[in-house]
Amino acid sequence: MTLGAVKQATAILAVIFFIAAVFAVLSGLGWIFKGHIFTGLSRIVASFAVLGFMYVVVRFLGEILAASHRLNDRLSILGDDLRTQRSKVPASDTEA
């Protein structure tokens, strides 16, 4: 995956988590309007806790993957520089 694909996948998952949070709130409000106030409130709080935890984990994993991509790019540039310096053959001294 490229760096742009990682960022785009993280953004898509954030939108999916937002939609899931909206459905969780609507479900909790449905329980509240049925007369089960504590059940509805506990469902809303629990769903926000679970979805928030999952969002943070996905966000951190996306950032770690993006950082490893950037590090890999820098290391490959450094490796190319080192290879070009080694491939230069020193001039032979014929006078000695």
Distance CA 45, CA 60 (A): 22
In a 3-state reduction of DSSP, which class is residue 88? coil
Distance CA 28, CA 26 (A): 5
**pLDDT tens string 27-45:** 999 999 999 999 999 999 9
Question: How large is the average pLDDT for residues 52-71?
Answer: 90
In a 3-state reduction of DSSP, which class is residue 47? helix
pTM of the predicted structure, to 2 decimals: 0.69
Q: What are the boundaries of each domain within the chain?
A: 3-85
